[in-house]
Structure 1
Amino acid sequence: MSVFFPTVLLCVYGFFTSLRPCEPFLTAYLMGPDKNLTETQVVNEIFPVWTYSYLFLLFPIFLATDFLCYKPVLVLQASSLVVTYVMLWRAQGLLAMQLVEFFFGLSTASEVAYYSYIYSVVEPEHYQRVTAYCRSVTLFGSAAGSLTGQLLVSVAEVDMVYLVIITLASASVAFLVPCFLPMPKRSLFFHRRAGAEEARPRSSSRTATRMEKAEDSDSRVPLNRPDISRASRSSEAGSGSRGLVAVLRMLFDDFVQCYRCRTLLAWSLWWALATCGYFQIINYSQPLWEHIFVMNTGNIWLSYSFYVLFRTTYMLLITVATYQVAASLNMQRYALVFGVNSFVALLLQSLLTLVVVDSSVLGLKVFTQFFIYGAYFAVISAIFLFAGLYKLASRRHSEQKALPGSRAQSETDSPPTGGTDSRTCVCEGSQSSSSS
């Protein structure tokens, strides 16, 4: 029951926060008669605010989430969504829509509370199953919201403002759910149980062992051991809570320790680079499609198909990367590494947005932007392709170099058999002993 109740509530919360029928039509709504904004204002002046807000709020929200024990930040996220859609419904003007993007960035940064709350109220053996439930429900809510919006617009010909109202109603339901969640009594960093060890699933421990064996000797880091950086955590031995300075010092020590592992560093680098480009594509795909409607080129369904393929491929690969990173980490470092990877992705996205999209720098048109995004992914693909080929060639070279030495060693160590196959001798010996 202690696992079932918060899991059900979190699934309900995740579904209603992700049920956003207006999201696929946001660009058309802002440029339509309800808001009457220009494409330049929407693409180059409004949308970048979300990226900047998300970047600057992520780390403070990350610390506040742990210090406040998750539940208050869940309330903050739901409140931000309610404010976002109330303003999107009623407010007018460029500045008001920029404030909408700020509150939506606050809500997005607060998602860390949703995905980390469960680890404070259930035992480690339930982590994998409960995480799967929560992520599946949020994806289902997102898909259901998009499908609902498409059906209402295409079939029922509902005005887009009603999609905003439906989304606001969904956010209001989500706002009520955290009130019934139990308040956690511990957290990963600030409020830990005195003398508690860093728990993690056994399956991940076995996977971490296999990963460490596959790495080179100079890059092996026992990331799942609870006694690493013990000196920086000695202050918590007699108390269950720590101050900000001690937490920051511990996070820095763990950061250095984790990213010494070259396998984890490579997967994290791919994660950050791919996520940066992924966010740019999904944020600015709607203005691209608006141009293809206007131009009537007939390629809109081709664009839709490649968009679905792109998002599916990213979701598949980010799942693999998530597993590879998490397999060698305990839950405390899981939160740290995932937070760092998200922050790096947002930092890169902010730089890309500032240079390419923001009207204060280049402010390029949407077609030009997507040419740059295509080149960005091409460069990433080339880098990781050559890195993979280099690693494969190095491994084969090392195996071939070690092969003559291993043969000579085996010949030296093997006893003289007088030209008889050793396997035959073993078999004969077993047969003679059995006959006797």
Structure 2
Amino acid sequence: MYPTILLCIYGFFSYMRPSEPFLTPYLTGPIHNLTLEEVTNSVFPVWTYSYLVILFPVFVLTDYVRYKPVIILQGLSYVISWILLLFARGVPAMQGLEFTYGMVTATEVAYFAYIYSVVDTEHYQKVTSYCRSITLVGFTVASVLGQLLVSLAGLSYFYLNVISLVSVAIGFVTTFLLPMPKKSMFFHKKIIESSGVSSEQPNVTGNNAEVPSTELETEASKENSSPNFCKVLWLLCKDLKECYSSMQLLYWSLWWALATAGYNQVVNYVQVLWEHVEPAQNSTIYNGGVEAISTFLGALSSFSVGYVKVNWELTGELALAIFSAVNAGSIFLMDYSYNIWLCYVGYLIFKSSYMLLITIATFVIAINLSMERYALIFGMNTFVALALQTLMTVIVVDNRGLALDIITQVITTFYIVTD
């Protein structure tokens, strides 16, 4: 319970950022005074590039250093990001902010992998639901709080970011209290030898591990003999080849990567689209309320998947086709509507549909995978999604590419989601 509670506290406060739905209005407002083109074409693309570059080294490093140091690094990156957002000025400074935030998202793998190294196997499902739910609760509370403070109290975006800084700082302090895991998925597995037979134990100190003291001594003596770095990488590549040899897994993983790339692109630039349709200086905006409702609908649709008695391996492709078309239609609605409320409705449909589909895809992919391969496959799928998003960003968003306007960018995403 102790590490689970601490991790949930960290998850809540690190996601409790009421300023996030108002990032674009804050950057284009009087404090930073950036243009919408600078934000779109020069600042936001840096996050995609840094996320891609940092993801693979962090994925390997996370397991090697046993999670906790990487979670501390994530908490520190949160604090640095909001300090820069509050006190730094200019395009280069905001590019530095986006690089630091890329570190935040790349190190997120440690948050969800840490708990599996400190609890017994029979608790995996519960602690996973706790950790994922608390992040959704934190984000929803933050969005509602931000909207109420902006609409009713007239609080400036600057002070919303002050609240966010305090929240992530509390989360950062919590990371130091987390216990250091004694094992990890790849580099620090504990092998117990009994009667000449080797067997892997999820956690030898857990309640269900009945290991004689002589075996524990044998294990302790072997703890420093973990597989070397090159051997682990070779085993990871071998596992990837075996997993992707299944055509069904390959098809679902490809859809997962394409959908995630399109989703990240929409979420990353949707505030720019809203600002284009209805500038924040001209009227009251409701970005926080929309984010809160969309997160709630997404969580509800994801939760409902567990209670629908359907063989997703047989009917999942039909569901993908139907809801992918719905997603594409919602993007089309957002892009060609000059009414902010229709844009909001399109976003609600898009996000909730994506959450439903990604839950189905995740379930179908993970159902026959071990925990080690689960982390490996979704790490690789995320890397492919980021590579696709990076390619799209370089071509259509970045100043060194075509630097297209926001309407054309969203249409590009429309074609990716449709495919």
TM-score by length of 2: 0.79
Cα distance change, pair 108–238 in 1 and its aligned pair in 2 (3 A): closer
Cα distance in 2 for partners of 1:269, 1:370 equals 21
1:317-356 equivalences under 5 Å are 317-356=357-396
Q: Which moved more, 1:4-13 or 1:188-197?
A: 188-197
AA at the equivalent of 1:349: Q
1:93-172 equivalences under 5 Å are 93-172=90-169
Cα distance change, pair 199–344 in 1 and its aligned pair in 2 (3 A): farther
Cα distance in 2 for partners of 1:144, 1:197 equals 44
State the Cα deviation string for residues 131-175 of structure 1 (Å, max 9, x = none).
011001001111111111111111111000001100000110000
Cα distance change, pair 343–198 in 1 and its aligned pair in 2 (3 A): farther
Which residue in the other structure is 1:365 paired with? 405
Cα distance in 2 for partners of 1:31, 1:97 equals 12
Q: CA deviation at 1:20?
A: 1.0
Q: CA deviation at 1:240?
A: 5.0
CA contact (8 A) 1:11 1:134 kept: yes
Cα distance in 2 for partners of 1:372, 1:338 equals 25
Cα distance change, pair 240–316 in 1 and its aligned pair in 2 (3 A): farther
Larger Rg computed on CA atoms = 1
AA at the equivalent of 1:65: T
AA at the equivalent of 2:274: W
Which residue in the other structure is 2:45 paired with? 48
Q: CA deviation at 1:260?
A: 0.6
Cα distance in 2 for partners of 1:340, 1:197 equals 27
Q: CA deviation at 1:376?
A: 2.0
Question: Which 5+ residue runs of structure 1 have no aligned equivalent?
Answer: 201-236, 381-436
TM-score by length of 1: 0.76
CA contact (8 A) 1:199 1:331 kept: no
Cα distance in 2 for partners of 1:100, 1:257 equals 39
Q: CA deviation at 1:187?
A: 0.4
1:162-201 equivalences under 5 Å are 162-195=159-192, 197=199
Which residue in the other structure is 1:27 paired with? 24
Which residue in the other structure is 2:240 paired with? 255
Which residue in the other structure is 1:284 paired with? 269
Aligned counterpart for 1:61 among listed residues 50, 58, 62: 58
Cα distance in 2 for partners of 1:197, 1:278 equals 41
Q: CA deviation at 1:375?
A: 2.1
AA at the equivalent of 1:66: D
Cα distance in 1 for partners of 2:413, 2:371 equals 34
Cα distance in 2 for partners of 1:45, 1:187 equals 39
Question: Which 5+ residue runs of structure 2 have no aligned equivalent?
Answer: 193-197, 203-221, 284-336
Q: Percent identity?
A: 51
CA contact (8 A) 1:86 1:168 kept: yes
Cα distance in 2 for partners of 1:164, 1:293 equals 22
Cα distance in 2 for partners of 1:344, 1:285 equals 22
Cα distance change, pair 58–154 in 1 and its aligned pair in 2 (3 A): same
1:371-410 equivalences under 5 Å are 371-378=411-418, 380=419
Cα distance change, pair 153–23 in 1 and its aligned pair in 2 (3 A): same
Cα distance in 1 for partners of 2:172, 2:21 equals 22
Cα distance in 1 for partners of 2:364, 2:121 equals 18
Higher relative contact order, structure no. (Cα contacts within 8 Å, ≥ 6 residues apart): 2
Cα distance change, pair 198–48 in 1 and its aligned pair in 2 (3 A): farther
Cα distance in 2 for partners of 1:111, 1:271 equals 18
AA at the equivalent of 2:160: L
Which residue in the other structure is 2:252 paired with? 267
Q: Size of the alignment, in residue pairs?
A: 341
Q: CA deviation at 1:298?
A: 6.0
Name the SS for the 2:116 alignment partner.
Answer: helix
Which residue in the other structure is 2:10 paired with? 13
Aligned counterpart for 2:355 among listed residues 295, 315, 334: 315
Cα distance in 2 for partners of 1:132, 1:150 equals 27
Cα distance in 2 for partners of 1:117, 1:199 equals 16
